[in-house]
Amino acid sequence: MKAEKKMKIVKTIKINVDECNGCRACEVICSAVHAAPKYSSNNPARSRIRIIRDPLRDIYVPVLAGEYTVAECAGRDKYTIDGKEYDECSFCRASCPSREEFHEPDSGLPLKCDMCENEENGPLCVQWCLVDALVYEEREVEVDEEETQEELEIGLDALASKFGMQTIMDTVARMSNKER
Ligand code: SF4
Ligand code: SF4
């Protein structure tokens, strides 16, 4: 049977690495908006955007938390751009066992950027970035309905085998109880 098609909005944050000055305002607001209760604290360790920094080399790379991976990758890349050499993993978005970023400090569960879900004016990190290092874009694409469901199931299976379904349920319950 042919898969049903549906329209989906793809949300993107375009990152202008050259504009970022490492102020970390994006980390502050992201962790604050996801605190429970909302805005009760800010802690970059809980942020879904992290700035990979090396001030002595004038390197500041904003990275948005992407997918969770069970295992770290075996091969890594180094990039040299405009004479600056970037460390391995600098541009990687994975919530991966070999890095500290993108794990909730209490539960260890992976963090993933949610584009601030239902925030009326769009992603807050974009709004708080005063130098346009982060630019929000939207476009509409046609997708198979089945594919969307499949992606969700694969993601949940991987999480459940690593953390156990109970930890996931507890964390979801805790987060859904937070005051809005
Ligand atoms: S708010 Fe903008 S300039 Fe500041 S660290 Fe984040 S991306 Fe960079
Ligand atoms: S879009 Fe929202 S959830 Fe994603 S990194 Fe920015 S502030 Fe955090």
Residue 28, domain member (yes or no): yes
Per-residue pLDDT tens over the stretch 163-173: 777 776 766 66
Question: Can you give the residue range of the structural domain that contains 139?
Answer: 7-176
The pick from 16, 21, 58 for probing ligand 1's pocket by mutation, whose C-beta has the most ligand atoms within 8 angstroms, reads: 21
pLDDT at 160: 72
pLDDT at 64: 98
Ligand nearest to the CA of 61: 1
| pLDDT band at 50; cut points 50, 70, 90 | very high
Q: Are 112 and 95 in contact (CB under 8 A)?
A: yes
**How many distinct structural domains can be found in the chain?**
1
Distance 126 CA to ligand 1 centre (A): 9
Residue 2, domain member (yes or no): no
Distance 179 CA to ligand 2 centre (A): 18
Residue 163, domain member (yes or no): yes
Residue 78, domain member (yes or no): yes
* 47 CA: nearest ligand 2 atom: 8
* 51 CA: nearest ligand 1 atom: 5
pTM, to two decimals: 0.82
Q: Which residue has the higher pLDDT, 147 or 115?
A: 115
Query: Of 96, 91, 68, which Cα lies nearest the Cα of 81?
Result: 91
| pLDDT band at 178; cut points 50, 70, 90 | very low
The β-bridge relationship of strands 49-54 and 59-64 is antiparallel
